[in-house]
A and B are shown apart, each in its own frame.
Chain A
């Protein structure tokens, strides 16, 4: 899996599509290498963040269909980003932390709503939770459209592009570095909690009886998963389905503790996003390259459907 990741990264570095649409393969000149490295590193950060966020949510909610996108986290973070962008562009407001804080607040508020509204008789009802997540996602989508409608016409194009999801080609190194370190830290934390995540797969009574402090691990997962999803949105906009597919992909290639599964999920998530980015370089409808969010949505939507129809998806 790691070798595939390296291959996908090298492919991303060497593939070139000229303005006329011809494909060629060569390492870029020194002055262009940054335009390849930035999306490559962003794909690694965003893919691993969304994948591990999805795994954390699937354990937290004991639901194999849980993911940042399905549970409205991505759209909540998106709404936060749009609100921040709207305030900055339309009112010239300077918000502390800017889009980063907007995305984080949006993600946490969405997850709190989904978590709170899915409770039935003191427990979480998995099916209610998916439905509530979809509703929150739709509501956040409506909020995003309202902001899109309110901004001046000239800004709508950039809002729409952002909403389709895309990996940045220009990004400051310090911002990439900070976000990368935070993602690495969160993934390490979740991997460190692996044995507790294993035990949290038991029912509440059983988990408590073997010594799991359930409220504590739920709080921790809740926060780190939200943070990871928010970072994904900050860097690449609302990318769908990577958080859902990556954990299932990791489970196909390995069976084991959540400690090793977290690492495998990070690799599969990064590989998925990088592969999607490679694929979009190959497709040309004469209107420029496809936004990466479209590629992940098409592939992810089909996989999600297969999981639903099989009814065997496991956390």
Chain B
């Protein structure tokens, strides 16, 4: 599986949300998308997931234009996790996760696995509108997990923004598992430590343009990120000897 983005540009009226984006990603990789607020991360992810038509350029998956994929093909190749999942109606958590199999045929096993992966088995019959933000975020991740075809693409927009530390680790392990099964995993995130833990590669955006790209440890340095985010950063070492980027 190879994802190729060529000269991608997205405009909303007069505003350019994304400009001249070129990149390619191979399977079995976790790619973190970083950048300040309104730098174009969500627009990039929606474009990759086939949910936003680029104004110029093309997204190709194994040479096929993602925009031209039929709904069923899109669902079988690309799974999407929004920043905030929205569900109207009186659906249960389990039902929402089952919807991941809408186009691909029901699979009780996949749904059970997904529920277990995000620690929602015991809360699966809870109603969506009664669930906490963290439960909803885990359910949205589980739905994509139930939907994904190994070797496909998993696109996640800030998938850990509402998670506690235990579930943050769970989701990190899930993303690594998907990559180990051949998936291209692309996730926008603000948690630099999480990116350092799970990502193989990083794309850093600023003002709709790709400003940094490459292997995670090479790109995520105090000086490079300090320039992008406009803050002072430094390495700090914890008791276990792990290095973290912190604001001094």
Chain A: residues with CB nearer than 8 A to chain B?
Answer: 59, 62-64, 195-196, 198-199, 201-203, 205-206, 208-213, 251, 255, 257, 312, 314-315
A212 touches B88 (CB 8 A): no
A203 to B128, CA, bound (A): 13
Alpha-carbon gap, A210 to B80, bound state (A): 8
B129 with A210: CB separation less than 8 A: no
Q: Given A199-B102, A211-B74, A212-B102 in contact, is the A62-B88 Cβ separation under 8 Å?
A: yes
B104 within 8 A of A: yes
Most chain-A CB neighbours within 10 Å: which of B87, B95, B140, B147?
A: B87
**Contacts of A64 on B, CB cut-off 8 Å?**
88
Interface contact A206-B86, CB-CB below 8 Å: yes
Task: Return the contact of B89 from the options A196, A201, A209 (Cβ within 8 A).
Answer: A201
Chain B CB within 10 A, most for which of A64, A209, A212: A209
Contact A315 B102 (CB under 8 A): no
- Choose one: A205, A211, A312, A314; the contact of B88 (CB below 8 Å): A314
Which chain A positions have C-beta within 8 A of B143?
210
Provide the bound-state CA to CA distance between A130 and B77, in Å.
38
B71 CB contact (under 8 Å) in A59, A63, A202, A212: A212
CA distance A64 to B129 in the complex (A): 13
Q: Is the CB of A209 within 8 A of B90?
A: no
Which of A205, A210, A257 interacts with B75 by CB under 8 Å?
A: A210
Q: Tell me, in angstroms, the Cα distance from A128 to B91 when the chains sit together.
A: 25
Give bound CA distance, A202 to B99, whole Å: 9
CB of B99 within 8 A of CB of A210, answer: yes
Extra contacts besides A211-B104, A212-B103, A314-B89 (8): CB < 8 Å: A62-B88, A63-B88, A196-B102, A201-B88, A205-B80, A209-B49, A255-B90, A314-B90
C-alpha gap A63/B76 in the complex (Å): 29
Which of chain B's residues has its CB closest to A208's CB?
Answer: B51
Say yes or no: B74 contacts A209, CB within 8 Å: yes
CB pair A255–B92 under 8 Å, yes or no, is: yes
Contacts of B87 in A (CB 8 A): 201-203
Q: Is the CB of B86 within 8 A of A203?
A: yes
Measured between beta carbons, the chain B residues less than 8 angstroms from A201 are 87-89, 91
Contact A206 B85 (CB under 8 A): yes
**B46 contacts chain A at the CB level, 8 A cutoff:** yes
Rounded to whole Å, the gap between the CB of A40 and the closest CB of chain B is 31
Q: Are B88 and A209 in contact (CB under 8 A)?
A: no
When distances are taken between beta carbons in the complex, the residues of chain A under 8 Å from B104 are: 211
Expressed in whole angstroms, the Cα–Cα distance for A59 and B51 within the complex equals 21
Tell me the bound Cα distance from A199 to B90 in angstroms: 12
Cα distance A109–B79 when bound, in Å? 38
A208 vs B71: C-alpha distance in the bound complex, in angstroms?
7
Q: How far is the CA of A312 from the CA of B87 in the complex (A)?
A: 14
Inter-subunit contact A315/B71 (CB<8 Å):
no
Using an 8 Å CB-CB cutoff, how does the interface string of B62-98 with A read, 1 for contact, 0 for none? Answer: 0000000001101110111010011111111001100
Given contacts A202-B86, A251-B90, whether A211 and B51 have CB atoms under 8 Å apart is no
Q: Offer 30 A-B interface pairs, CB within 8 angstroms, sorted by A.
A: A63-B88, A198-B99, A198-B102, A199-B102, A201-B88, A202-B86, A202-B87, A203-B82, A205-B51, A205-B80, A206-B85, A208-B50, A208-B71, A208-B74, A209-B50, A209-B75, A209-B78, A210-B75, A210-B100, A210-B143, A211-B72, A211-B75, A211-B76, A211-B104, A251-B90, A255-B92, A257-B95, A314-B89, A314-B129, A315-B89
Q: Interface centre among A62, A196, A210, by most B CB within 10 Å?
A: A210
Contact B82 A206 (CB under 8 A): yes
- Closest chain-B Cβ to A54's Cβ sits at a distance in Å of 13
B51 and A209 within 8 A (CB): yes
Shortest CB-to-CB span from A305 to chain B, Å, is 21
- Which residues of chain B are near A255, meaning CB under 8 Å? 90, 92
